[in-house]
């Protein structure tokens, strides 16, 4: 294990390498969550929980400022357990706990990195989920692939099986872009296809699911057409890998927003970048029709976009409603309506 100071240095180096200028939320009460929200998917009601922990130690992805919602300093297991208590004391969670079908566990980094997310707190969370979310069918944990340990996942899966209903396990990773050059040389994700396929092969014998986060138009210099083509190629690739390893893979497709304190903000202010249009996001996602890849379209900028740098605009709110309906139904006719909905003057 690394010391908290070692992790802090890694975070600092990553930020410097990526030219990031944002700060961290050190004033946050460490006994409370960073963020929490509900969303609807074809799996039912989803509770998305972001724990306040020490930040992602990679911290160098070009357009990402999610670590600004957490801490540069270590957050002890006692505070994380208090955050779990805070979660289950929340009136919305108490009111809807029997309706929740899926919980996504995040810390804007790697939940499976034991140096930033306490194993004690993680098991405490699973125990509380078993106690208080009786109809839970899936738990999803965000992580970089290097922290995925099958022995740990086996133990977690056995613990989840002790709940009132059969509960599956899903691992979520950031893939961001399919093009190797864009993903690793420009965005600096540090993920090769070999590593990705090794991860799928590792998960397959246990029947664990996989969620892959992709960003549409994640870097400056990428045209709208190239961004659509990249997602279409990603869907084709993920579908082939899914069939090869007989593993269920979901694509979580996020339209890119211009995050504060990143190189993307610099490019945006210089007039060298604009966020993708939702029509193009729908066109890209249409490629999943008649495939074995399910799609969830992210529709929040999490309040982290610079003014004018979000894909959310007053004139596309009707599209948001359609895309939310697609997330709930996987009805591609809804996507088709958005993809052909470009209005005059837009």
Q: pLDDT tens-digit profile of 140-186? A: 999 999 999 999 999 999 999 999 999 999 999 999 999 999 999 99
200 with 310, same domain?
Answer: yes
Q: What is the dihedral of CA 55, 60, 62, 66, to 10 degrees?
A: 0
Return the pLDDT at 276: 97
Return the pLDDT at 1: 82
Among 50, 77, 73, 55, which Cα is nearest to 65's? 55
Q: Which residues contact 68 (CB under 8 A, 6 or more apart)?
A: 22, 23, 24, 25, 260, 261, 304
Q: Facing residues of 38 across strands? A: 47
144 with 251, same domain?
Answer: no
First and final C-alpha spacing in the chain: 52
The structural domain count of the chain equals 2
Q: Is the pLDDT of residue 341 over 80?
A: no
105 with 200, same domain?
Answer: no
Q: Is the pLDDT of residue 269 over 60?
A: yes
- Quote the domain boundaries for residue 313: 196-207+226-341
**218 in a structural domain:** no
Q: Is the pLDDT of residue 198 over 90?
A: yes
The two structure tokens encoding residue 77: 């297991």
Read off the pLDDT of each residue in 328-335 and give the average, rounded to a whole number.
94
248 with 107, same domain?
Answer: no
**214 in a structural domain:** no
Classify burial at 74, counting beta carbons within 10 Å of its beta carbon; exposed 0-12, middle 13-18, buried 19 or more. middle
Cα angle vertex 223, ends 221, 225, to 5°? 160
| Distance from C-alpha of 122 to C-alpha of 113, rounded to nearest angstrom | 11
Cα angle vertex 141, ends 201, 92, to 5°? 150
Return the pLDDT at 255: 98
311 with 251, same domain?
Answer: yes
* Domain end marker among 166, 184, 215: 166
Return the pLDDT at 192: 98
Q: What are the tens digits of pLDDT across the range 81-110? A: 999 999 999 999 999 999 999 999 999 999
**43 in a structural domain:** yes
53 with 160, same domain?
Answer: yes
108 with 237, same domain?
Answer: no
**327 in a structural domain:** yes
5 with 130, same domain?
Answer: yes
Give the number of C-alpha atoms closer than 13 A to the C-alpha of residue 47, restricted to the C-beta side: 25
Return the pLDDT at 37: 97
Residue burial 194-221, b: 16+ Cβ < 10 Å; e: rest: eebeebbebbeeeebbbbbbbbbbbbbe
9 with 84, same domain?
Answer: yes
Return the pLDDT at 209: 97
34 with 146, same domain?
Answer: yes
Percent of the chain past pLDDT 90, that is, above it, reads 97
Give the number of C-alpha atoms closer than 13 A to the C-alpha of residue 131, restricted to the C-beta side: 10
| Distance from C-alpha of 308 to C-alpha of 55, rounded to nearest angstrom | 27
The answer to whether the CB of 216 falls within 8 A of the CB of 227 is yes
Read off the pLDDT of each residue in 231-246 and give the average, rounded to a whole number.
98
| pLDDT band of 299, cuts 50, 70, 90 | very high
**191 in a structural domain:** no
| Distance from C-alpha of 33 to C-alpha of 84, rounded to nearest angstrom | 8
Return the pLDDT at 346: 39
| pLDDT band of 345, cuts 50, 70, 90 | very low
162 with 201, same domain?
Answer: no
Percent of the chain past pLDDT 70, that is, above it, reads 99
The two structure tokens encoding residue 45: 């009601």
Cβ-based neighbour number of residue 114 at 10 Å:
16
Return the pLDDT at 213: 98
**117 in a structural domain:** yes
Among 161, 136, 137, 147, which Cα is nearest to 107's? 147
DSSP characters over 175-226: EE-SSHIIIIIIS-----HHHHHHHHHHHGGGT-EEEEEEEES-STT--HHH
Q: Is the pLDDT of residue 49 over 70?
A: yes
Averaged pLDDT of the chain: 96
Edge-to-edge, what's the strand order for the sheet holding 138-142? Answer: 35-41, 44-50, 100-106, 138-142, 168-176, 209-216, 249-255, 294-297
Q: Is the pLDDT of residue 343 over 70?
A: no
The helix/strand/coil state of 323 is helix
| Distance from C-alpha of 165 to C-alpha of 121, rounded to nearest angstrom | 22
**178 in a structural domain:** no
151 with 292, same domain?
Answer: no
Q: Is the pLDDT of residue 342 over 70?
A: no
**186 in a structural domain:** no
Return the pLDDT at 302: 87
């Amino acid at each position: 294990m690394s010391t908290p100071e070692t992790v802090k240095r890694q975070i600092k180096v990553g930020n410097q390498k990526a030219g990031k200028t944002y700060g961290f939320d050190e004033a946050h009460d460490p006994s409370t969550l960073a963020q929490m929200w509900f969303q609807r998917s074809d799996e039912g009601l989803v509770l998305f929980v972001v724990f306040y922990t020490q930040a992602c130690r990679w911290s160098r992805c070009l357009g990402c400022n999610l670590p600004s919602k957490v801490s540069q300093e270590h957050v002890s297991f006692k505070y994380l357990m208090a955050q779990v208590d805070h979660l289950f004391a929340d009136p919305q969670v108490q009111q809807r706990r029997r309706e929740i079908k899926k919980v996504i566990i995040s810390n804007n980094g790697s939940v499976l990195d034991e140096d930033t997310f306490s194993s004690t707190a993680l098991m405490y969370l699973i125990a509380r989920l078993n106690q208080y979310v009786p109809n839970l069918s899936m738990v999803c944990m965000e992580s970089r692939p290097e922290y995925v340990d099958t022995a740990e996942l086996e133990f977690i899966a056995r613990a989840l099986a002790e709940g009132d209903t059969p509960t599956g396990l899903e691992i979520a990773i950031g893939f961001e872009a399919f093009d190797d050059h864009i993903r690793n040389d420009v965005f600096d994700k540090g993920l090769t296809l070999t590593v990705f396929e090794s991860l799928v092969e590792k998960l397959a014998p246990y029947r664990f699911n996989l969620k892959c986060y992709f960003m549409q138009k994640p870097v400056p210099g990428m045209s709208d057409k190239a961004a659509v083509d990249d997602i279409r190629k990603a869907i084709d690739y993920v579908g082939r890998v899914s069939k090869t390893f007989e593993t269920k893979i979901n694509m979580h497709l996020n339209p890119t927003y211009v995050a504060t304190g990143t190189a993307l903000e610099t490019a945006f202010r210089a007039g060298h970048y604009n966020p993708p249009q939702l029509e193009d996001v729908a066109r890209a996602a249409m490629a999943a029709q008649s495939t074995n890849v399910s799609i969830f379209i992210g529709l929040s900028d999490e309040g982290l976009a610079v003014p004018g740098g979000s894909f959310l605009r007053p004139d596309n709110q009707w599209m948001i409603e359609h895309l939310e309906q697609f997330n709930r139904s996987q009805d591609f006719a809804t996507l088709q309506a958005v993809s052909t909905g470009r209005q005059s003057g837009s």
